[in-house]
Amino acid sequence: MAADRAASSHLFWRPGADPPPASAALDRGRANDERASAVRNVHAGLSLTQQRVRLPVFADRRRILYLVETFPTVVIVGHTGCGKTTQIPQYLHEAGWTAGGRLVACTQPRRVAAISVAARVAEEMGAELGAGAVGYAVRFDVRADAERTRILYLTHGTLMREMLADPLLSRFSVVMVDEAHERGASTDLCLALLKKVQRRRKDLRLLIASATLEAEALARFFGGTAPMRMRGPDGAVRLQPPVAVLTLVAARAHPVHRCFLARPCADYVAEAVRAVLELHVQQPPGDVLVFLTGQAEIDAARALLTDAMADAMADAMADGGADAKRRRTSLARHEPAARPTELLVLPLHGGLSRDEQLAAFEPPAPGARKVVLATNMAETSITLDGIVYVVDCGFVKQQIFDAQAGTEALVVAPISRAAAKQRAGRAGRTRAGVCLHLYTQRTHAAMRAATAPEVQRCSLDNLVLQLLSVGIRNVAQFDMPTPPPAAHLACALEKLYALGALTDRGALTSPLGERMAELPLTPLLAAMLLGAVEEGCAREALCVAAMLSVQTVWVGCSHKAQDAARAHFAVYEGDHLTLANVLRAFTRARDAPRWASRRGLDARVLQRAVLVRAQLARFLSRFGLPAENCGRETDRLRRSVVRGFFPHAAQRQVGGEYRAVRGGRRLLIHPRSVLFRAPPEWLVYHEVSQLTNGDEAMIDVCKIEPHWLTELAPLFYEVRTAQRGA
Ligand code: CDP
Ligand code: MG
């Protein structure tokens, strides 16, 4: 109910309410403590209140509240798991920062983290998630109550959308930017915009939670820790530093024994599976966390583990763990009696439903061992209890922008030494732990010390559009924690201009550019949807946009089963139309879940797509745009796809591979596409992802007519010709 209200108004609280009084008092209201104490946590045997006061951050509660009261910006450094994310917003709430209807916001880089943390805090406060004091707001999913929500967990992207509706964030008293050290593009953008807001709103408090590595740079960005003349919220001028940095009392981090391979391994998924089986057979109880790069690897590892477990356990016990000898530091073997017997394998990645993700947090049944196969999301922002063993594959999936081609690709890249250390640290929360790095010490030494901020390596279309939509005209001069490369900015500006979002003076066009910024879609998808209104097929384009905003629906257990499922729906025009057909058929089916599972489709993902489609439809009706149906005239839908995705056009070459029309990059059709076996001469693609052999493959492609490119995107392809001539 709350979510519905939220979606229809874009804001999730009552619009037009009086701004809150700008005052704050320390340590007001203990009612929540008392309510929380009534709730008992069955697993730990301690009440949630007891658990709360045992967290390391509790020792610094008063100090944190004092600093927030005194300084406009506070940078907080503390170990993962010490209680920053779950506790600090509650302290602020208890201390009166949410009095008068104000909100404390805590932003997360990932939606999973925002949701799971909100659920935990609601439990601690004895509140119903979304209906009481705690809520969350992530893209396409809001659970917050207009009147009652006081602590709101949200993603950085969602906070920026809020700024569109409420540029000064007038309802928020404190914004805590969590995991700031990750330096994601939306995190950096958030920090930059908050700095700007704070100049106009002296009463707004910022809390920035960061790992040690980035703390100093972030403090410097907000004005540094040297005293200067500052005007406080009361108007008085004082001499004090703009930023306070607080390093929390060291969390109870236990030592982690880190092991590297003696020789490099060829296949880290297989090696990870081997390592898990070996740990399971040889090591005392304790859960395992495995870092892999994405859903495909996680699914593969899960299948391998499930299949091989029985055999491998027998083998490993028989040969005394020959594989362990490959490790420089092999682990001591323990008495088999201490071993848990059952192995519970749980995936954890962004493509799962909320319930599936939350399953990874549940403790295993007594005697069983839990293995969580996770993406990078488990590196910092999520705390899993009971992890004693970590297996680190040494890689991460990252967006890498190619300025020459003007597009980005999802590439598997080595992690940094800082990330490796962070991953290892996840093993030492409960007791002394072990981390198996699936690479050699030499490889480790050759890794970068730290990862470059994302703004330096991602496509900036969205960032530029967001900046323009909040009224920042000169994006190149905009004060960011790390300035993005000028060439990448130029690419983004040119693309947005060609999409019709910018005037030739670099301002947002009205209404097209404004609407693109408002839609919770990437600029290209937004342009496709708005272009479909022109083509008279927005009804179908809503299906496409919704399906491309959720995870893959093809979930058959094997590639063959997935291929068969796809073949059933495949149309020669490509994946976009196929996906639209799937969603429409799903909506029409009488027993939709059964219909889906019989066809090898993920009903929950489809259900989510239905919700996303409804939300996007509400945007169109708010813009006063019709959602018409083009029926059998599918060219109109393909033309709409071109209206958004013309920068991603490619032509087939003699050898069967493709060349990007712009930039000439070599591309293949991903085996997951319905056009893999029927490659058209011209197409546009949705995304590029790297295959395991390093080739770049286009995921979700749409067959097009080449003259549509010049007809529908004359600015883009004309500009290109001029450049070529120059
Ligand atoms: O943010 P930080 O890494 O400092 O810690 P946190 O996320 O606030 O977690 C504090 C404690 O809350 C953890 O040690 C977990 O025991 C617990 N927690 C939980 O049980 N379930 C969650 N979803 C999140 C945290
Ligand atoms: Mg945290």
pLDDT band at 16 (very low <50, low <70, confident <90, very high): very low
Q: Any long-range contacts for 465-469 (C-beta under 8 Å, 24+ apart)?
A: 465/496, 465/501, 465/508, 465/513, 465/516, 465/517, 465/523, 466/160, 466/189, 466/517, 467/189, 468/501, 468/502, 468/506, 468/507, 468/508, 468/513, 468/517, 469/164, 469/508, 469/513, 469/514, 469/517, 469/518
Q: Which is the closest atom of ligand 1 to the Cα of 380?
A: 3
**CA angle at residue 420 from 417 to 424, to 5 degrees?**
140
Q: Please give the pLDDT value at position 234.
A: 74
Q: Which is the closest atom of ligand 1 to the Cα of 79?
A: 4
Query: What's the average model confidence in pLDDT over 113-118?
Result: 93
The dihedrals phi and psi of 347, each to the nearest 5 degrees, come to: -85, 155
Q: Please give the pLDDT value at position 377.
A: 83
Among 86, 151, 246, 422, which is best to mutate for testing ligand 1, by the most ligand atoms less than 8 A from CB? 86
Query: What's the average model confidence in pLDDT over 412-432?
Result: 90
Q: Please give the pLDDT value at position 725.
A: 39
Contacts of residue 461, Cβ cutoff 8 Å, sequence gap at least 6: 492, 495, 496, 522, 523, 524
pLDDT, tens digit, 9 for 90 and up, residues 623-647: 999 999 988 889 999 999 999 999 9
Q: In this model, does residue 11 exceed pLDDT 70? A: no
Task: For the chain, give the longest Cα–Cα distance.
Answer: 76
> Which range, 292-301, 363-372, 378-387, 674-683, has the best average confidence (pLDDT)?
674-683
Q: Which residues have a beta carbon within 5 Å of ligand 2, which is an ion?
A: 85
Q: Please give the pLDDT value at position 292.
A: 96
Angle, helices 575-588 vs 559-569, to 10°: value is 80
Among 50, 120, 212, 380, which is best to mutate for testing ligand 1, by the most ligand atoms less than 8 A from CB? 120
Q: Are strands 73-77 and 205-210 parallel, antiparallel or unpaired?
A: parallel
| Distance in Å, CA 83 to ligand 2 centroid | 7
Of all residues in the chain, what percent carry a pLDDT higher than 90?
60
Which is higher by pLDDT, 579 or 334?
Answer: 579
Q: Are strands 368-374 and 287-291 parallel, antiparallel or unpaired?
A: parallel
Of the ligands numbered here, which is closest to the C-alpha atom of 109?
2
The dihedrals phi and psi of 49, each to the nearest 5 degrees, come to: -65, -40
| Distance in Å, CA 81 to ligand 1 centroid | 5
Query: What's the average model confidence in pLDDT over 85-102?
Result: 96
Q: Which is the closest atom of ligand 1 to the Cα of 209?
A: 1
Query: What's the average model confidence in pLDDT over 82-96?
Result: 95
CATH number of 48-247: 3.40.50.300
Intervals of CATH 3.40.50.300 along the chain: 2-31+253-454, 48-247
The dihedrals phi and psi of 85, each to the nearest 5 degrees, come to: -65, -45
| Distance in Å, CA 689 to ligand 2 centroid | 29
| Distance in Å, CA 55 to ligand 1 centroid | 9
Q: Please give the pLDDT value at position 231.
A: 75
Residue among 526, 495, 494 nearest 512 (CA)? 526
pLDDT band at 327 (very low <50, low <70, confident <90, very high): very low
Residue 235's CB is within 10 A of a number of other CB atoms, namely: 7
Q: Please give the pLDDT value at position 719.
A: 47
> Which range, 236-240, 274-278, 383-387, has the best average confidence (pLDDT)?
274-278
Contact indicator for 306, 562 with CB cutoff of 8 Å:
no
| Distance in Å, CA 117 to ligand 2 centroid | 8
Q: Please give the pLDDT value at position 72.
A: 93
- Name the closest-CA residue to atom 14, ligand 1: 81
- DSSP 3-state assignment of 240? strand
Q: In this model, does residue 330 exceed pLDDT 60? A: no
Q: How far apart are CA 260 and CA 329, in angstroms?
A: 7
pLDDT band at 357 (very low <50, low <70, confident <90, very high): confident
| Distance in Å, CA 78 to ligand 1 centroid | 12
- DSSP 3-state assignment of 378? helix
Of the ligands numbered here, which is closest to the C-alpha atom of 81?
1
Q: In this model, does residue 482 exceed pLDDT 60? A: yes
| Distance in Å, CA 384 to ligand 1 centroid | 8
Ligand 1 site residues, Cβ closer than 6 angstroms? 55, 78, 80-87, 116-117, 120, 361, 383, 385
Query: What's the average model confidence in pLDDT over 363-374?
Result: 91
Which is higher by pLDDT, 79 or 525?
Answer: 525
Q: In this model, does residue 6 exceed pLDDT 70? A: no
Q: Domain 2-31+253-454: state its class.
A: alpha beta
Q: Please give the pLDDT value at position 36.
A: 33
pLDDT, tens digit, 9 for 90 and up, residues 498-554: 999 999 898 999 999 999 999 999 999 999 999 999 999 999 999 999 999 998 888
Mean pLDDT of the chain: 85
Of the ligands numbered here, which is closest to the C-alpha atom of 110?
2
Query: What's the average model confidence in pLDDT over 690-705?
Result: 90
- Name the closest-CA residue to atom 8, ligand 1: 83
Is 447 exposed, middle or buried (CB count within 10 Å of its CB: 0-12, 13-18, 19+)? middle
